[in-house]
Amino acid sequence: MQESTLIEKFHYQKNFVYSVLLFQQLIASGTHIIAKVVVKDIDPVTLTALRSGIAAIGLLLIILIKRTKFRFQKEDYKSILFLSFLAIPVNQFLFLLAIKYTTPTNASLLYGTTPAVVLLISLVTGKERVNWVKGLGVVVAFCGIFIIVFERGIDFSSEYAIGNLLLFVAVIAWALYTIQGRILILRYGAFTTSSITMIFGAIMFIPIGIFNVADFDYSGLTIGHWGGLFYLAMVTSIFAYFLWYYALGRIAATKVAVFSNLQPIFTTILAIVILGQAISTVFIIGGSIALAGVVLAQFG
């Protein structure tokens, strides 16, 4: 009876983590569309500084209210600084810079390659064992993503070349953030790790963005702009990052990363809802293949 209870508890916790990841990917997918709209009127440097600054202030308030005390081992200081650098100056800034030159669907596609990048880095560094089932699941999911993306007419011509290249660097940074962060999560927890990297990352970006923030003309911003900024700062930078690290503390990095394959699907669904686009047969087929790949990878 006791063994049966433990098994049921394990499956319940695992299913809960999967639900968290699905919700996290929905939030992340909305980020592509919102960022594309907001970055038209707020330059990437200013937007990154405002986004990270508001997120840092929000996290500091939460820390003060919870009276959280951070205690880190000295050998982890370098890792914390490295993760902070990856989180804001590299990943968030390059993402906002890139989205100005490319499309939200392109962004969702490239972030959908996160599992492949994590898998490759994990294999090279020996962080995680990669079996054929897990690898096949990633490949199948990735094939489904490509079916959807190319059906939507994704253009990798020179017009988007700069944006796509910057996005790929941002994806590499996100993959490293995923892999390296798991070590600290297991030691200090998801909230502590995500909070400290967000705060330090915002501090690192101050020398880059302080003058842009000071010189920017805020008079032309609408409620929509501020709402988008709030979403990017509070919902994505705080809540979505925490959910990502929460999952990383409970299942393997490659299994967490494979959920990024869902971003193009969710982004397209949001575009359908917002823009009134019709769902095609090819989209249904590609989405089904991608979901099958995600499930297959979990059995790895």
Tens-digit pLDDT profile for residues 76-130 = 999 999 999 999 999 999 999 999 887 787 788 778 778 778 877 877 777 667 6
Q: How far is C-alpha 70 from the chain's CA centre?
A: 24
Instruction: With CA atoms as reference, report the closest residue to 236 among 87, 104, 55, 40.
Output: 55
pLDDT for position 137: 78
Q: How far apart are CA 218 and CA 6, in angstroms?
A: 56
* Rg, the chain, Cα only: 19
Place of tokens 């011509």: 157
Residues of the chain with pLDDT under 70: 1-12, 127-128, 130, 148-161, 275-279, 298-300
Measured on CA atoms in the order 263, 231, 159, 118, is the torsion positive or negative?
Answer: negative
Phi, psi (rounded to 5 degrees) for 218: -85, -5
Tens-digit pLDDT profile for residues 157-166 = 555 667 878 8
Phi-psi region of 189 (alpha: psi -120 to 50; beta: other; left: phi over 0): left
Instruction: With CA atoms as reference, report the closest residue to 205 among 45, 44, 59.
Output: 45
**pTM for this model (two decimals):** 0.81
